[in-house]
Amino acid sequence: MGYFRENIERLQGYVPGYQPGDADVVKINTNENPYPPSPKVLEAIRGFSPEFLRKYPQPLADSFREAACKVLGVGSGNIICTNGGDDLLTICFRAFCDEGRTVAYPIETYSLYEVLAELQNCKAVEIPFGNDNWIDDLVKAKSALTIICNPNAPTSTRVETDVIGELADKLSGVLLIDEAYVDFAEDNCLRLVEKYDNVIILRSMSKGYSLAGLRFGFGIANAELIAGLMKVKDSYNVDAIAIAAATAAIKDQKYFKSNVAKVKSERERLKTELEKLGLEVGKSETNFLLAKYSESGTLYEKLAERGIYVRFWNTSSLSDKLRITVGTKEDNDKLVTTLKEILS
Ligand SMILES: Cc1ncc(COP(=O)(O)O)c(C=O)c1O
């Protein structure tokens, strides 16, 4: 066509997981939480005054920042609210990367990073996770932005906070720790924000708080970094309904904790059931499992034919694996029963 910048012409674009329109399927392919959000969220939406639709929303989503500060023990100047965690990723690429300033991250990981690098026309230095020297290799890349997804997708594993702290210490640029799945993990990196002025933590309300459809995420960092990121974001990047709903969700920690506990307990049960069927399943600190099976592509198709959607990537390192979101007990039972039929 020739109208677009060259890098956009070349770009394939991010391919989101399949969203089947049919409600009658088992949808365990995009890591949504299988349980509904807190009833307080629905109350906040129902009680929402139309007056707040007429006016622009709070530019910095102050109500949410105030509530989040109490939960996290940081100041409101340490938080930037975003239109999902993905918006924070976009803001960071725009803030730190360009043709002369690279991004680095270990792979396999969230495939959006590569797409954002191409959009920003910056070089992406990809370091294999399995490599013993992955930390040194990331440091040697001397990138303006280094991203570590922790716990990582799609592997579901977590690197210890001390190791990430060591990385933050050695890096000359910014370290963005993508904690989209941290609600299901045994530890998190929040304490590194106080210690290192180059650390940004990404959090999402999509997973632990069951709000993927709402689009709300946030970043936590030292006040100077946050002030810089504020210059890059859209003026009103989170809408008024999203602010009200996300604020109600984060205030209801009791519901949040019980929701996360249910997902974690189903995760362990599903892991055991899949292993009994001969699939190799690694430890997970997320709301999904990465299951290894030699003929994963065929298995994926057979499951889809039966109305069960999991995630499959036909790439060299992932073509023998399926990523399976932890569903409700009924979803997981249906998956296991169907797998038994297919594999017998
Ligand atoms: C690793 C990772 N980071 C960030 C996100 C962004 O989440 P959201 O934009 O829904 O907050 C996702 C979504 O699945 C993800 O898998």
Q: What is the pLDDT of residues 280-335, one digit of tens each?
A: 999 999 999 999 998 999 999 999 999 999 999 998 889 999 999 999 999 999 99
List b or e across 318-338, with b for residues whose CB sees 16 or more CB atoms inside 10 angstroms.
Answer: beebbbbbbbeeebbebbeeb
pLDDT tens digits, residue range 86-99? Answer: 999 999 999 999 99
Residue 79 pLDDT exceeds 80: yes
- Determine what percent of the chain is predicted with pLDDT higher than 90: 91
Strand order from edge to edge, sheet including 288-292: 280-281, 288-292, 321-325
178 lines ligand 1 (CB under 6 A): yes
* Residues in contact with 321: Cβ distance below 8 Å, sequence separation at least 6, in sequence order: 154, 290, 291, 292, 293, 296, 312, 313
Average pLDDT over residues 111-118: 96
Testing ligand 1's pocket by substitution, the residue of 82, 107, 112, 204 carrying the most ligand atoms inside 8 A of its CB is 204
Tell how far the Cα of 49 is from the centroid of ligand 1, in angstroms. 30
Question: Tell me, what amino acid is at 300?
Answer: Y
**Average pLDDT value for residue range 93-113:** 97
Third-level CATH fold of 39-253? Aspartate Aminotransferase; domain 2 (3.40.640)
Establish whether residue 201 lines the binding site of ligand 1, counting it when its CB lies within 6 angstroms of any ligand atom.
no
Give mean pLDDT, residues 251-269: 98
Q: How high is the pLDDT of residue 323?
A: 96
* Confidence at 132, pLDDT banded by 50, 70, 90: confident
Q: 317, 308, 265: which is closest to 290 by C-alpha?
A: 317
Looking from the CA of residue 86, the nearest atom of ligand 1 is 9
Q: 168 C-alpha vs ligand 1 centroid, how far in Å?
A: 22
| Mean pLDDT taken over the chain | 95
- pLDDT at position 130 over 90: no
**Mean pLDDT, range 239-248, rounded to an integer:** 98
| pLDDT (0 to 100) of residue 120 | 96
Give the SS3 label for residue 143: coil
Alpha carbon dihedral 122, 128, 132, 137, in 10-degree steps, equals -10
The answer to whether 304 and 23 have CB atoms below 8 angstroms apart is no
pTM of the model: 0.96
Question: In this predicted structure, what is the pLDDT of residue 204?
Answer: 98
pLDDT band at 256 (very low <50, low <70, confident <90, very high): very high
pLDDT at 147: 98
Taking CA atoms, 227 is separated from 8, 81, 91, 204, 298, in Å, by 29, 12, 12, 20, 49
Domain boundaries, the chain: 6-30+254-343, 39-253
Averaged pLDDT for residues 26-47: 96
Task: Tell me, using a 6 A CB cutoff, whether residue 206 lines ligand 1.
Answer: yes
Please give the pLDDT value at position 21: 75
Architecture, CATH, for domain 6-30+254-343:
Alpha-Beta Complex (3.90)
Q: Is the CB of 85 under 6 A from ligand 1?
A: yes
What is the Å distance from ligand 1's center to 115 Cα? 14
User: Given pLDDT bands bounded at 50, 70 and 90, which one contains residue 66?
Assistant: very high
Burial profile 155-168: b = 16 or more Cβ within 10 angstroms, e = fewer: bbbbbebeebbebb
Least confident of 111-115, 129-133, 269-273: 129-133
Q: Does 204 sit in the ligand 1 pocket, CB within 6 Å?
A: yes
Average pLDDT over residues 67-76: 97
Is the shortest distance between the CB of 327 and ligand 1 below 6 Å?
no
CA distance 279 to 308: 17
